[in-house]
């Protein structure tokens, strides 16, 4: 069943055409992600498909009677309302019933109240407020009565996301839904979308998210949309095949173009004019072979300032805001080349810690001793504070007109911008004309041209396209200095960091040796009940898979022995867990290869059930393992 159709869409800004004669469709049960380079028109296309922006030409049609929920990249919320009022202002039958009920109560209209109560019962809307609170809580918004005017940009995005989710639309259109979410909120959203029966269209650069949620990938490339039936891993494989075929076709076209160019330059002999159909074909071929690729290779081969033996020593660092303790006697000595991930829920103090390390905020107590050769490069979540009427080239030249590369060569600002995928025309554009991703790429350039040797990156993956992310990852892997990263991109963190600081609340920070997935797997093996807290603020965790636990003793001091039945249970659990993990791998493979939407829903539910069984059996296995 077709939910959305777009036919021969064209959209331009000035003399720049984003896409021309683009055709696209979505069927019920599809979960489609649009990917592509920054500035390729993904957000514009999403806005047109959602009906928020008109195309220059073409038609977008939606199936009658379906509901559509749209999350904009920069949602517009009413500052005069509270969080709860904004969410209740959405569109759905349940919300209409809740509003009618509240109105009837306020105006003491008994007939309307009786009808409203009947509608609430029919639509199962009585627990709707509880559902709203739950979704907001999962997304990190606890105070539903706070005014929207007091929210940060990231909090506004989360409230807007909650408003869209609670409506449960037939077609969900999301623009960068994982931006401004912490890791746990992303995993909640991932689970929600996997178990939701609706249809999804989104723009995202989160590769784990794409791989686990989507069954189709549509790539914006050179004004065209290439669709792949499968998840993100399948898309990568097929994209390589398409680009290889395109390169071969381009080589053939250029050979043909050279022959046709020679024909065009010759004067006609027997006839007074050349064949018009051949001239038209030549013009089409010229446009095809002269088209510039938009996915050039980003080059980050910049020079780094020398880093001495003493880098950064943190001693007994403490910080609180009012009654909330963010850090309590935190200690750590950075070594070269440390690559650390900083994780924790929103509001735990990740940005505060980075601001203290860079001297922008003073701690309440403790010391930060910075080595004399340390030069920080701090990439913040805050967007560039630059005049909208300033040209890109002027922004860079205000920092430095020439820069040195790692090999000692010198390049100009123009050459550097070209390496950061800003072509000559884009360099002379005003900042106001840049897309969100292009502004972030420019911000990254301004941090790196200062030759830092200690990089602190606060959400560097927001709005960056996947091509840029891959090159940035390669650069950071080979960066000889220190790196401290906060990111919601689990793939980015898994590939780069060697250990993580986990901000657990109440000022406690755990230093876990491994990446995010290592930590998450270890955490999931821990008993559900909280263990006694260590007094030290930086705790070293137990080994990942089978934590070493002190053997409990009976009252007489002797070690408890397992019964024969418990020993058999312990051995059986090992086999059952192994069998469940094998079945999960099989279902994940089936999910990745695709199928009709009923199958995908059933497989996603089975995975969720298997995960729950594995967790329960693992807890019991660990409990028995203490006495083996």
Residue appearing with tokens 């630059």: 386
pLDDT on residue 292: 45
Is this model's pTM higher than 0.85 or not?
no
Average pLDDT rounded to a whole number, residues 234-253: 70
Q: How far apart are CA 289 and CA 278, in angstroms?
A: 16
357-412: pLDDT as tens digits: 999 999 999 999 999 999 999 998 877 677 788 999 999 888 878 877 766 778 88
183-197: pLDDT as tens digits: 888 999 999 998 888
Dihedral sign (CA 539, 544, 550, 554): positive
Alpha helices in 2-92 (DSSP H): 42-50, 83-88
Using the predicted structure, report yes or no on whether residue 109 has a pLDDT greater than 80: no
Using the predicted structure, report yes or no on whether residue 296 has a pLDDT greater than 80: no
Using the predicted structure, report yes or no on whether residue 332 has a pLDDT greater than 60: yes
Q: What is the mean pLDDT of the chain?
A: 81
Using the predicted structure, report yes or no on whether residue 495 has a pLDDT greater than 80: yes
Strand order across the beta sheet in which 2-13 lies? 16-27, 2-13, 57-62
Using the predicted structure, report yes or no on whether residue 245 has a pLDDT greater than 80: no
pLDDT on residue 444: 87
213 neighbors 220 (Cβ within 8 angstroms)? no
204-243: pLDDT as tens digits: 988 889 888 999 999 998 888 889 888 888 888 887 777 6
pLDDT on residue 306: 78
Using the predicted structure, report yes or no on whether residue 179 has a pLDDT greater than 60: yes
Residue 626: name the closest of 571, 553, 565 by CA. Answer: 553
pLDDT on residue 535: 37
pLDDT on residue 496: 92
pLDDT on residue 555: 41
Judging by DSSP bridges, how do beta strands 499-505 and 339-343 pair with one another? parallel
pLDDT on residue 30: 93
pLDDT confidence bin for 274, thresholds 50/70/90: low
Using the predicted structure, report yes or no on whether residue 57 has a pLDDT greater than 70: yes
Using the predicted structure, report yes or no on whether residue 622 has a pLDDT greater than 90: no
pLDDT confidence bin for 252, thresholds 50/70/90: low
Which residues face 36 on adjacent strands?
Answer: 220
DSSP state of 193: H
15-40: pLDDT as tens digits: 788 999 999 999 999 999 999 888 88
Residue appearing with tokens 């300032």: 305
Provide CATH code, domain 2-85+149-231: 3.40.50.300
Same fold for the pair 2-85+149-231 and 312-388+451-539: yes
Residue 151: name the closest of 69, 71, 95, 80 by CA. Answer: 80
Tell me the C-alpha to C-alpha distance, in Å, between residue 5 and each of 202, 301, 551: 15, 44, 63
428-486: pLDDT as tens digits: 989 888 887 888 888 888 888 888 999 999 988 888 888 888 888 888 888 888 999 99
pLDDT on residue 164: 92
pLDDT confidence bin for 256, thresholds 50/70/90: low
DSSP secondary structure string, 283-309? HHHHHHHHPPPS-PPP---B------S
Judging by DSSP bridges, how do beta strands 171-175 and 199-203 pair with one another? parallel
Which three-class secondary structure string do you get for 372-388? CCCCEEEECCCCCCCCC
DSSP secondary structure string, 386-435? --TTSBHHHHHHHH-SEEEBTTS-EEEHHHHHHHTT--HHHHTSBGGGS-
Length of the chain: 628
pLDDT on residue 619: 75
pLDDT on residue 512: 92
Q: How far apart are CA 576 and CA 579, in angstroms?
A: 5
Using the predicted structure, report yes or no on whether residue 290 has a pLDDT greater than 70: no
Using the predicted structure, report yes or no on whether residue 347 has a pLDDT greater than 90: no
Q: How far apart are CA 197 and CA 515, in angstroms?
A: 33
Lowest mean pLDDT, pick from 46-50, 139-143, 241-245, 477-481 = 241-245
Strand order across the beta sheet in which 199-203 lies? 68-71, 171-175, 199-203, 31-36, 216-221, 224-229
Average pLDDT rounded to a whole number, residues 55-76: 91
Residue 428: name the closest of 419, 443, 418, 440 by CA. Answer: 418
Average pLDDT rounded to a whole number, residues 53-64: 94
513 neighbors 541 (Cβ within 8 angstroms)? yes
Q: How far apart are CA 369 and CA 485, in angstroms?
A: 20
Using the predicted structure, report yes or no on whether residue 556 has a pLDDT greater than 50: no
- Say if domain 312-388+451-539 classifies as CATH 3.40.50.300: yes
69 neighbors 167 (Cβ within 8 angstroms)? yes
pLDDT on residue 537: 41
Would you kindly state where each structural domain of the chain is located, as residue ranges? 2-85+149-231, 235-290, 312-388+451-539, 564-625
Using the predicted structure, report yes or no on whether residue 295 has a pLDDT greater than 70: no
Residue 406 phi/psi, 5-degree rounding, is -60, -30
pLDDT on residue 200: 95
Terminal-to-terminal C-alpha distance of the chain: 57
Using the predicted structure, report yes or no on whether residue 580 has a pLDDT greater than 80: yes
Average pLDDT rounded to a whole number, residues 80-108: 81
pLDDT on residue 161: 94
> How much of the chain, in percent, has pLDDT values that exceed 70?
81
Residues 6 or more apart in contact with residue 132 via CB below 8 angstroms: 84, 87, 88, 144, 162, 166
């Amino acid at each position: 069943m077709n939910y959305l159709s777009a036919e021969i869409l064209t959209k331009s800004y000035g003399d720049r055409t984003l896409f021309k004669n683009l055709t696209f469709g979505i069927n019920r049960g599809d979960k489609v992600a649009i990917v592509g380079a920054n500035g390729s028109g993904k957000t514009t296309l999403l806005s047109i498909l959602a009906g928020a922006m008109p195309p220059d030409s073409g038609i977008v049609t939606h199936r009658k009677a379906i509901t559509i929920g749209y999350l904009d990249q920069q949602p517009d919320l009413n500052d005069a309302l509270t969080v709860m009022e904004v969410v209740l202002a959405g569109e759905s039958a349940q919300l209409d019933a809740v509003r009618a009920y509240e109105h009837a109560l306020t105006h003491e209209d008994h007939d309307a109240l009786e009808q409203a109560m009947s509608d609430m019962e029919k639509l199962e809307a009585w627990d709707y407020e509880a559902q709203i609170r739950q979704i907001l809580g999962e997304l990190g918004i606890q105070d539903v009565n706070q005014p929207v005017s007091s929210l940060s940009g990231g909090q506004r995005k989360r409230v807007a996301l909650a408003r869209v989710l609670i409506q449960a639309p037939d077609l969900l259109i999301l623009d960068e839904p994982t931006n401004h979410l912490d890791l746990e909120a992303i995993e909640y959203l991932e689970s929600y979308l996997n178990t939701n029966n609706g249809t999804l269209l989104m723009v995202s650069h989160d590769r784990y998210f794409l791989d686990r949620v989507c069954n189709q990938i549509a790539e914006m490339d050179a004004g065209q949309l290439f669709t792949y039936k499968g998840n993100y891993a399948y898309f990568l494989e097929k994209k390589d095949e398409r680009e290889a075929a395109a390169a071969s076709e381009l080589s053939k076209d250029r050979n043909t173009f050279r022959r046709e160019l020679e024909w065009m330059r010759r004067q006609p002999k027997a006839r007074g004019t050349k064949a018009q159909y051949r001239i038209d074909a030549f013009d089409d071929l010229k446009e095809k072979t002269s088209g510039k690729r938009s996915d050039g290779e980003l080059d980050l081969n910049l020079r780094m300032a020398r880093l001495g033996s003493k880098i950064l020593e943190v001693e007994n660092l403490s910080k609180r805001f009012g009654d909330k303790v963010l850090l309590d006697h935190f200690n750590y000595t950075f070594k070269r080349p440390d690559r650390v991930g900083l994780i924790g829920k929103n509001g735990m103090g990740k940005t505060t810690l980075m601001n203290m390390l860079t001297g922008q905020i003073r701690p309440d107590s403790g010391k930060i001793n910075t080595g004399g050769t340390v030069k920080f490069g701090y990439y913040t979540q805050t967007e560039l504070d630059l005049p909208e009427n300033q040209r890109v080239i002027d922004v860079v030249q205000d920092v430095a007109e020439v820069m040195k590369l790692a090999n000692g060569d010198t390049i100009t600002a123009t050459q550097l911008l070209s390496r950061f995928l800003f072509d000559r025309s884009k360099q002379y554009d005003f900042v106001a004309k840049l897309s969100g991703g292009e502004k972030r790429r420019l911000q990254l350039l301004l941090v790196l041209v200062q030759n830092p040797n200690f990089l602190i990156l606060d959400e560097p993956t927001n709005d960056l396209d996947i091509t840029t992310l891959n090159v940035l990852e390669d650069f950071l892997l080979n960066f000889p200095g220190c790196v401290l990263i906060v990111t919601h991109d689990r793939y980015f963190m898994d590939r780069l960091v060697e250990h993580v600081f986990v901000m657990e609340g109440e000022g406690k920070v755990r230093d876990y040796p491994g990446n995010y997935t290592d930590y998450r797997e270890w955490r999931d093996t821990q008993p559900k009940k909280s263990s006694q807290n260590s007094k030290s603020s930086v705790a070293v965790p137990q080994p990942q898979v089978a934590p070493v636990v002190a053997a409990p003793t009976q009252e007489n001091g002797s070690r408890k022995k397992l019964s024969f039945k418990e020993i058999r249970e312990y051995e059986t659990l090992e086999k059952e867990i192994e069998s469940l993990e094998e079945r999960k791998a099989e279902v994940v493979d089936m999910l990745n290869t695709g199928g009709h939407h009923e199958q995908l829903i059933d497989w996603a539910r089975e995975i969720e059930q298997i995960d729950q069984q594995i967790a329960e059996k693992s807890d019991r296995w660990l409990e028995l393992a203490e006495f083996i």
